[in-house]
Structure 1
């Protein structure tokens, strides 16, 4: 059920994005003849007066179709309500509406969570949690005997305490002591385990042991003082998430070699969402808001096959007074689409191979 909840979150965000494009077109009187949730074979469809609504087999996607290039369309090519015949501003509104819809939806998700569940805070407990250990049997953590769920209480006799600073201290010790043995005091269930781990020298010259670290403790929520505070606090949280997402994207571009392995595909996103749904279902609102903001920011990038790429074509048209030749636009968009599909397939295979259940098949 938790996996279905995570998939449902992604499906809703995609519907919101495509609904933004669709409503922006229809409210301006622009024809839109298809509205599909998902890709692949059609499972269910309904033919409205102007639009075919469909649910397709693979829910992690969707699209709004326009009759401009539909060979079966009976609409005259010079009809002013075809998207391509509208002024640049009208087309820009339609193209950017998906991104705007995702941002607005993310904000109201945060307001809803804060208003009904409360403001999220964290009740720290001693130590640093190790929620995940690299599946590679040759990793330093695996060799040392560190297991998922362990809580690191101390490193080299230094207590990690009850704060976010514990993660910083542990990371510093690991990164600054490559190829040197470090003594760790762990809590495993009700037992205290003492072991030694030797960080490996990474490509960046820093030590690494192959684990993911998280604060140890529990999420707590505090009620807000009314609807006005819910909207205000929601705006602050929305700003924080947006800034962090943009900064993360900037780090990915500027330091791609070291951050590329952190890119996650739909399978990994579903896995994370499933874990959240299983452990703290109320946090699904914030998870959905985070994914919605990411979807918006990524889509607005000026890359082929994304909304930002189409806006870039409109900008060129506005500057030179005429659109780029159709052949050039189609070639760029098709190349970009193939690259995105290739990246998507790669991420799906990579994330699927790293799932715990798949890993156990090969042990």
Structure 2
């Protein structure tokens, strides 16, 4: 049960932070954000604050921010429409009732002759067939009620497409960026709690099995030289180990102020690139400091990004197959394993997932943030937007492809973990 709670919290946090990035930058640009949603499907919770409805939906597979103007506005008044109007003390329309007018008996009956709810913000028409033509101004935050649902109108200056290329780019890019920022914050807190790796070539721990324990290396040993070559930091130490699998190395060790000579033969293993490297089973010493934690958070976020990017490159070049991909089922399983190993492992895994979500969303694929950014960049280069219908078609095809890919990787996960 604890693992299930951990998974729900982690997935919810990753999606919340991602969508929060979109929301904050969209609002900063003046875009009307109708809904901020965690999950898809039927609503299980909703609350409206200011002009945005915040919802939690049934299927926890993502989220979205519904920005005005991303899809064609469905609010339209045509000549001959019989509507009801709510006016404020200044005679400005604050609410338009399109149907179900019997529920609003005290409002003004009106027949539309002409209306503009995006640019001019006015409604012209007649209160009765014999009456004069009347014109009313429309409040920029006027409500529009149809089929029992209430929407806020979106004047053209509140719509996504009316903003500058740079503002729209930031609103879309902010989602993946927030995932990288979240990873950095998690890793920073992790280092504050558990310590950041020391750059000194000092052994912090020794695995119960492996070349190090067989050779007699101990926690606290400071490596001063290997094969007579001075070692000044941990990176130099690990580089020598990794580049010499199955090669016996002569270590010069400072142990409690005494010089000790140890011979170690690194075992051979494959790294994340599929290359052979040496491994002796030791960990670095950890130290706790604010600046060291900041550096650890930044460096490790970059390291995770490089590892994921390398993996994507190997997938494209065919070095690894699609069978190695994991979907929601696989991620659920790995998150469960991380949760069982403790909070330290779970924090690092959450940071990795956050980086992964950010990078995947930046891929230049239709329906992803990266695909939308490509269209915005092309618009900036061309000086005019791409045909909205063509862009929508590309995103639709891309979304269908992603759903197909999701089905494939989910089936692979089921085979790996349950069959």
Q: State the number of aligned residues.
A: 283
**Structure 2 equivalent of residue 309 of structure 1:** 371
- Deviation of 1:225 (Å): 3.4
Whole-Å Cα distance in 1 between the matches of residues 362 and 307 of structure 2?
Answer: 16
TM-score (norm 1): 0.71
Question: Structure 1: where are the runs of 5+ without partners?
Answer: 129-157, 176-214
Does residue 83 of the first structure (1) align with residue 160 of the second (2)? yes
**Structure 1 equivalent of residue 175 of structure 2:** 98
> Which structure 2 residues correspond to residues 4-23 of structure 1 after superposition, within 5 A?
4-23=5-24
- Deviation of 1:247 (Å): 1.4
The answer to which structure has the higher helix fraction is: 1
**Structure 2 equivalent of residue 237 of structure 1:** 300
Whole-Å Cα distance in 2 between the matches of residues 293 and 277 of structure 1?
Answer: 18
- Deviation of 1:76 (Å): 5.8
- Deviation of 1:323 (Å): 1.0
**Structure 2 equivalent of residue 59 of structure 1:** 60
**Structure 1 equivalent of residue 107 of structure 2:** none
> Which structure 2 residues correspond to residues 189-228 of structure 1 after superposition, within 5 A?
223-228=286-291
> Which structure 2 residues correspond to residues 1-363 of structure 1 after superposition, within 5 A?
1-68=2-69, 69=71, 70-72=73-75, 79-119=156-196, 123-126=206-209, 165-168=267-270, 223-255=286-318, 258-355=320-417, 358-359=418-419
Whole-Å Cα distance in 1 between the matches of residues 288 and 403 of structure 2?
Answer: 46
| 8 A contact 1:118–1:221 mirrored in 2 | no
Whole-Å Cα distance in 2 between the matches of residues 221 and 38 of structure 1?
Answer: 40
Change (3 A) 1:164 1:79: farther
Change (3 A) 1:122 1:92: farther
**Structure 2 equivalent of residue 211 of structure 1:** none
Whole-Å Cα distance in 2 between the matches of residues 54 and 316 of structure 1?
Answer: 33
**Structure 2 equivalent of residue 188 of structure 1:** none
TM-score (norm 2): 0.62
Whole-Å Cα distance in 1 between the matches of residues 43 and 184 of structure 2?
Answer: 32
- Deviation of 1:224 (Å): 2.3
Aligned CA RMSD, in angstroms, stands at 3.0
Change (3 A) 1:126 1:85: same
Greater relative CO, 1 or 2 (CA 8 Å, sep 6+): 1
| 8 A contact 2:29–2:163 mirrored in 1 | no
Q: Secondary structure at the match of 2:54?
A: strand
Q: Secondary structure at the match of 1:308?
A: helix
